[in-house]
Amino acid sequence: MATEIREWVDIARDFQDTLVLGNGASIAIDTGFSYGSLLRKAREDRLITKPVDALFKHMNSSDFELVLRCISIAEFVNRALEIQDRKTDKVHQDIRDALIQTAQEIHPKHKDIYNTPAFLDQWIR
């Protein structure tokens, strides 16, 4: 499962009134978005399978992007060498799903942000 990363200039025309920020911006607002926090939460919610947990521990990292990138490289190498490997693809999907589900769970809901007096006050002034 190869992931395509495109340059903003190539996709900007597809977006209007949209601001795209990276994970660093999210972490600056709330440390709960750090990879360490996300991994802890995913483990607490039992979204991390044993093979996935073993991979994070073996790499001594909580960086989802790094682990996913390494798996993508392994998948590329397996294809080039014609090695049949479903486990790598499965682990890639499991990590991706755990990250998405965890981020969705901890992310504030639209109604909770935009209906608060503090949020409204900053835009009314």
pLDDT in tens, 82-99: 999 999 999 999 999 999
Number of domains in the chain: 1
Residue 1 lies in a domain: no
Q: What is the pTM of this model?
A: 0.69
pLDDT of residue 8: 75
Gap between the Cα atoms of 8 and 44, Å rounded: 35
Gap between the Cα atoms of 102 and 21, Å rounded: 18
pLDDT of residue 71: 95
- Residue 10 pLDDT greater than 80, yes or no: yes
Range of 95's domain? 8-124
Helix (H) or strand (E) holding 124: helix 117-124
- Residue 22 pLDDT greater than 80, yes or no: no
Angle between helices 35-44 and 86-106 (to 10 degrees): 100
- Residue 26 pLDDT greater than 90, yes or no: no
Q: How confident is the model at residue 104 (pLDDT cuts 50, 70, 90)?
A: confident
Higher-pLDDT residue of 65, 123: 65
Tell whether the torsion through CA atoms of 22, 26, 29 and 35 is positive or negative.
negative
